Amino acid sequence: MSSSASPQSAQILTEEQGLTFPPGFVWGASTAAYQIEGGVHEGGRSASIWDTFSHTPGRVLHGHTGDVACDHYHRYRDDVKLMAELGLKAYRLSVAWPRIQPDGTGPANQAGLDFYRALVDELLEHGIEPWVTLYHWDLPQALEDAGGWPVRDTAHRFAEYAELTQRALGDRVRHWITLNEPWCSAFLGYGSGTHAPGRTDPPAAIRAAHHLMLGHGFATQALRAAAPDHEVGVTLNLYAVSPQTDSPGDADAARRIDGLANRFFLDPILRGSYPADVVADLAGVTDFGHVRDGDLEVVATPMSFLGINYYSRHVVAAPIEGVEPEPYWRAQSSWPGSEQVRFVTRGVPVTDMNWEIDAPGLVEVLQMVHRNYPELPLYITENGSAFVDEVVDGEVDDVDRVAYFDAHLRACHTAITSGVPLRGYFAWSLLDNFEWAWGYTKRFGMVYVDYDSQLRIPKSSAKWYTEVIRRNGLAAQ
Ligand code: FCB
């Protein structure tokens, strides 16, 4: 045990029957508005970039859209009842910005606020603490038409929306997450174009990343000023990154990808500076002329916690000498300035997303964050896996998903016993849902959704998780 381990972690180590988590550990599940709500034309909601993108032929597998999704907009009462039956203590939902501000600006739309007030009331009545993400990728299309995240004004618009939402829900909601995974919004949305709005413009992706973080900073200032007792954080998707071999070239590849995936967001938000090596890697892409004096102080506004989404590890290797990346790949890369890095597979078991299953990577990520940015309470705001699920006699026995959750919760426990201040875990996801560019073909839920009938079937993993929450830990193996 590290010397920084708290007495609390010593206490959980002495538990003989399985692994017990610290008292008060938050057990939850996550979803996102566009992935589950449907009701896209109701309550005055306007189009978001994901409506436009999913309705553009060729963008989403099989032309799937979020028009209906899990119909949660109409079924939220039953869904909350289900959450209560599962024993969830917390639920991370996201608010759809175009329900609150259909044009991305101006006064709040009452019907939109009413929906979330009703949802939050339902949660509280069932003893479930709402954790609200303000931006899980559904930018109002009107703001994209005005330039989107590459434009500075969007950061101000976001802070305004955050304030409006807090004003309406702040008597009921105490936990706020400004952004979900700004890496995806910036680099998939504006770099590779595989996510909405589908632009392939690397310099715009770098500007988008900056304005997302600036928006986070402005919003954090506003939320904390209005309600100093509220907890405000951001959620980043962090990866374990390792080189394929110990060659200097592979080490440099790992430095580059760790730089863009992790440090490009952690450093500005937690230290108020961009990592110098990544800025140098990006020299051919941008001169960072969009960063104004004082911006980084705003970006680094103190937060109450950091949310981490963890799914997998990147194993990377140096470019093969003499082989230039395809021009197509260079133009459409989600790794601007480092397009030549090769992502390699190790042949270890993967999920249905083809993501390598790597629970030790979660220990690495948690310890890396704690080592480099100490003192900050951490939450796993997403962790989970897609597998091909089959309904047999009305049941879904998702043993692979149970194994995935179990291994990753053991990793969380290992991190806690080594002194990492991990305070909670939100499984991704409560329900099978619209998995972005993969449409409904990938199932991440603990609860199976039959999209024709909208029937919900709790899978084995849901029943297993109920037991984890009940005992505040894992049974002996
Ligand atoms: C994350 C997203 C979430 C979901 C999972 C599988 O990147 O935040 O909405 O799609 O991946």
Q: What is the pLDDT of residue 322?
A: 77
Verify whether ligand 1 is closer than 6 Å to residue 382 (CB atom): yes
Pair 33, 44: CB distance under 8 Å: no
Verify whether ligand 1 is closer than 6 Å to residue 187 (CB atom): no
Q: Atom 9 (ligand 1): residue with closest C-alpha?
A: 32
Chain-centre distance of CA 395, in angstroms? 29
Beta-strand runs (E) in 164-274: 175-180, 231-237, 240-243
Verify whether ligand 1 is closer than 6 Å to residue 430 (CB atom): no
Instruction: Choose which residue among 35, 64, 436 to substitute to test ligand 1 binding: the one with the highest number of ligand atoms within 8 A of its C-beta.
Output: 436
Q: Is the pLDDT of residue 26 over 70?
A: yes
Q: Which residue has the higher pLDDT, 286 or 17?
A: 286
Verify whether ligand 1 is closer than 6 Å to residue 417 (CB atom): no
181 is catalytic: yes
Q: What is the pLDDT of residue 477?
A: 78
Q: Which atom of ligand 1 has the smallest separation from the CA of 353?
A: 6
Instruction: Choose which residue among 133, 181, 352, 379 to substitute to test ligand 1 binding: the one with the highest number of ligand atoms within 8 A of its C-beta.
Output: 181
Rounded CA gap, 286 and 336, in Å? 10
Calculate how far, in angstroms, residue 465's C-alpha sits from the geometric centre of ligand 1. 20
Q: What mean pLDDT value characterizes the chain? A: 95
Q: What is the pLDDT of residue 319?
A: 87
Q: Which atom of ligand 1 has the smallest separation from the CA of 180?
A: 8
**What does the pLDDT average to over 412-440?**
98
Among 90-104, 316-330, 374-388, 456-470, the minimum mean pLDDT is found in: 316-330
pTM, entire model: 0.96
**What does the pLDDT average to over 262-291?**
98
Closest CA to 97 of 27, 185, 174, 29: 185
Verify whether ligand 1 is closer than 6 Å to residue 435 (CB atom): yes
Verify whether ligand 1 is closer than 6 Å to residue 432 (CB atom): no
Pair 444, 353: CB distance under 8 Å: no
Catalytic residue among 181, 339, 364, 435: 181
Pair 363, 414: CB distance under 8 Å: yes
Q: What is the pLDDT of residue 324?
A: 66
**What does the pLDDT average to over 304-324?**
91
Share of the chain above pLDDT 70, in %: 95
Q: Model confidence at 327, in pLDDT bands (50, 70, 90)?
A: low
Q: What is the pLDDT of residue 3?
A: 35
Q: Which two tokens stand for residue 37?
A: 């709500």
Q: Is the pLDDT of residue 13 over 90?
A: no
Q: What is the pLDDT of residue 148?
A: 99
382 is catalytic: yes
Calculate how far, in angstroms, residue 30's C-alpha sits from the geometric centre of ligand 1. 10
Q: What is the pLDDT of residue 50?
A: 99
Q: Is the pLDDT of residue 2 over 50?
A: no
Q: Which atom of ligand 1 has the smallest separation from the CA of 184?
A: 7
User: First-to-last CA distance in the chain?
Assistant: 21
Rounded CA gap, 255 and 242, in Å? 9
Q: Is the pLDDT of residue 4 over 60?
A: no
CA-to-CA separations, 294 to 148, 186, 209, in angstroms, rounded: 22, 21, 16
Rounded CA gap, 137 and 206, in Å? 17
**What does the pLDDT average to over 367-396?**
97
Q: Model confidence at 425, in pLDDT bands (50, 70, 90)?
A: very high
Calculate how far, in angstroms, residue 292's C-alpha sits from the geometric centre of ligand 1. 31
Q: Which atom of ligand 1 has the smallest separation from the CA of 32?
A: 9
Q: Model confidence at 38, in pLDDT bands (50, 70, 90)?
A: very high
- Residues across the chain: 477
Q: What pLDDT digit, counting tens, does each position of 78-109 carry?
A: 999 999 999 999 999 999 999 999 999 999 99
Largest Cα–Cα separation, the chain:
63
DSSP string, 417-466: HTT--EEEEEEE-SB----GGGGGG----SEEEETTTTEEEE-HHHHHHH
Q: What pLDDT digit, counting tens, does each position of 454-469 carry?
A: 999 999 999 999 999 9
**What does the pLDDT average to over 346-372?**
97
Q: What pLDDT digit, counting tens, does each position of 141-200 carry?
A: 999 999 999 999 999 999 999 999 999 999 999 999 999 999 999 999 999 999 999 999
Calculate how far, in angstroms, residue 57's C-alpha sits from the geometric centre of ligand 1. 22
Pair 231, 175: CB distance under 8 Å: yes
**What does the pLDDT average to over 447-454?**
98
Q: What pLDDT digit, counting tens, does each position of 220-271 carry?
A: 999 999 999 999 999 999 999 999 999 999 999 999 999 999 999 999 999 9
Calculate how far, in angstroms, residue 70's C-alpha sits from the geometric centre of ligand 1. 16
**What does the pLDDT average to over 48-55?**
99
